A and B are shown apart, each in its own frame.
Chain A
């Protein structure tokens, strides 16, 4: 074993250190389509102190350090582009503290969405957090890191807007508290009314620091939930429909999907509208208001509420929706990837055309899936393609299609979400140079040796 290997093994314990070909193979890739690159070492730390030591070692030896949650971002963000250490965070998955009345929870940096959900269900049935539809192993910290979106995003914004504090280990090994917790025992605000420093870390993909704790805001969990689906063949009217729905302020979440299969979904755009209530009356009232809000489209015959088959409801209501993952095996090939730009809702029709155009051009199975962010402030439009992992040609076509999506998104005024390295470059080229300048300052100061998830957000 070389010295670095030895030191790492000492830090995390032999059992949680590997420089074996098996881990190198696995951690060199993610389920998406980016080319693999092997790490030299993989570690699975258990404590903040271990991470501090690893960071110090990496800084001293100038070797890359790449934090990884579940590796499910799909866009290659956990692939160690320059080798070095991949740090699997998932052994740090304790739920440290719930403040019920102040509605927040502090979790460790590798805690999964699923674990928190189960914990709250058991111990705090009146509280919930904003679950994304990524598989349940996906981690909370990583999702915040990439500005993910979840069930409560239509109401409260990005999942990263719904945090109230961070603890971060810097490249230097120092531990840094961000938010009210920097001067108070309580984690109730991520910044305000002080300078909000979360921006130094969030959206950086670990290139400025490693989240070891995150306080996530919790929200009232109503006793009942239901879903209605409004369907339309007029994609040009979808933004207006969303505008009306968000005006009601009564909807939990709004997802829109359009896909050619199964037959029940062919030809239409489906606006899935989730509502909640503590009583039948509350739920019914909200249902009525959402129906009323779209009445003019029903009158003009431009859209209507479909009868959601009873078997479909549980699939839509579960959190996370396992069915989203199942899309990967539509072609019996275990693969899917989506490019999900954050873009204005008014661009829905263009996005909807684009995905069909690309699916035809590259002969791919597709699903367009959008999630509304805020009261129609923006949306994530997911251009999702399913591919067969054993069919290199199909994988290549999918890559090309996704590349065209990136170009389209930029053109349409969108911003890349969980940008691939290529997209990061495209973004930095297009970005206001002064903005880029600030990014450069931040990166150089927080990561002077360029060891933190290098290759990502490298401002040149």
Chain B
């Protein structure tokens, strides 16, 4: 059985307690932070297990290589502390159940993975992806299953993810470019934390796009727009990739606005919060986030995760900001949209 690698001793000697000190939802200073993490590590109860809203951010805040959020999730599951209503969790687990309805393109050693997001198949048309297409895979069989950490359910991940890895293995792929942020986080971050071996190289589509755009630089017409970036929860699992957003924007002439809720301080889209905690938390977070975009003069809101886009896209649009996925923005820059 796969087990989370978590080192309590790292917490005991932690000089900052960043994980919880920086948490946007809990009000904790350093001493409590360290104490609570140690308690959680030892399997004791903690208010954190009740109050954490599953934003994933402490996975990024902790700079000592520990996994505070995975740990919280493990403990919650052990103790039966639910984050989401059971019905919501069940629904998500059911949706992710493999149905034999996966779709494979002409799979080569280098392949695009859409995870379980069918819209990507339409999105990857054109010059940006012609390097790899039609080498692609899609379906529950290739779904990273990481979303279940929102639901304090890692056992389903531990059960399914190795099978998913196996499905990739069977295809003999060497390099997988993940078009969904969370999938990249799964294979590059969560899998190693649990000792799940990944037999291929994981590439974030940010990196792929960045390199590709450099190749296509003659086609690029700077967009000259001001845009805000909506950073998804999953991006906390791959903070080393986050810089590519700014890099890409520079290549395509987008002025990425400085705003309050960016980088480490980014706010969740609220989609999961609505399902798990009801109206107020979700709407508060969404309102603060969108107000912030408006205040800082964003013309566009760039999405990395399609789920974020469907959760706040319409509201963003109502406030006069155009919602757009990063892939579409890049297409726009090379005159394909």
Contacts and interface: CB of A to CB of B under 8 A. Distances in A.
Contact between A and B in the complex (any CB pair below 8 Å) = yes
Given A292-B279, A305-B274, A298 B85 contact: yes
B86 A301 contact: yes
Given A263-B99, A267-B94, A280-B318, A232 B87 contact: yes
Nearest to B279: A291
Residue in B82, B84, B87, B310 with the greatest tally of chain A CB atoms within 10 Å: B87
Contacts of A361: none
Given A298-B278, A306-B275, A307-B274, A267 B85 contact: no
B35 interface: no
A195 interface: no
B95 interface: yes
Interface in A317-340: none
Given A233-B86, A298-B85, A303-B85, A268 B91 contact: yes
B88 interface: yes
B278 A301 contact: no
Contacts of A310: 310
A301 B82 contact: yes
Contacts of A303: 85, 87
Contacts of A291: 278-279
Interface in A283-318: 287-288, 291-292, 295, 297-299, 301-307, 309-310
Nearest to B274: A305
A295 B278 contact: yes
B274 to A, nearest CB: 6
Contact of A233 (B87, B95, B274, B278): B87
A307 to B, nearest CB: 6
Interface string A264-275: 101111000000
A287 B310 CA distance: 18
A299 B85 CA distance: 8
A146 interface: no
A297 B87 CA distance: 11
A50 B277 CA distance: 63
A303 B88 CA distance: 7
Contacts of A302: 85-87
A12 interface: no
A304 B97 contact: no
B91 A305 contact: no
Contacts of B90: 233, 266-268
B271 interface: yes
Contacts of B274: 305, 307
A227 interface: no
A288 B283 CA distance: 10
B311 interface: yes
A301 B95 contact: no
B21 interface: no
Contacts of B85: 231-232, 297-298, 301-304
B276 interface: yes
Contacts of A299: 278
A304 B87 contact: yes
A304 B276 contact: yes
Contacts of A297: 85
A267 B91 CA distance: 8
A295 B279 contact: yes
Contacts of A287: 279
Contacts of B275: 304-307
Contacts of A304: 84-85, 87-88, 275-276, 278
Contacts of A292: 279
Interface in B124-144: none
A319 to B, nearest CB: 22
Interface in B88-108: 88, 90-91, 94-95, 97, 99
Interface of B: 82, 84-88, 90-91, 94-95, 97, 99, 271, 274-279, 283, 310-311, 318
5 contacts: A231-B87, A269-B87, A298-B276, A301-B82, A301-B85
Lowest 6 A-B CB distances belong to which pairs? A304-B85, A291-B279, A231-B87, A298-B278, A304-B88, A301-B82
Given A303-B87, A304-B84, 19 more contacts: A232-B87, A233-B87, A264-B94, A264-B95, A267-B87, A291-B279, A295-B278, A297-B85, A298-B276, A301-B86, A302-B87, A304-B87, A304-B278, A305-B278, A306-B88, A307-B271, A307-B310, A309-B310, A310-B310
